[in-house]
Structure 1
Amino acid sequence: MNCLHYRQLGILYSLNDLVSECDRYIWKNFDQVSTQEKFLDIDKVEMEKLISSDELVIESEEVVFECLVGWVKHDLQTRKQYFPTLFKHIRLQYVEIDYLSKNIRKEV
Structure 2
Amino acid sequence: MSDFVSVASVDSFADPDRQLVEVDDQLVVLVHAGGNFFALDDVCTHDGGPLSDGAIDPEGCTIACPRHGAKFDLATGAAKTMPATKATKAHEVKVEGGQVYVRLAD
TM-score range for the pair, normalised by the shorter chain length: under 0.3
Higher relative contact order (CA 8 A, sep 6+): 2
Q: TM-score, normalised by structure 1?
A: 0.26
> Of Structure 1 and Structure 2, which has the larger fraction of its residues in strand?
2
> Of Structure 1 and Structure 2, which has the larger fraction of its residues in helix?
1
The structure that has the greater radius of gyration is: 1
Q: TM-score, normalised by structure 2?
A: 0.26
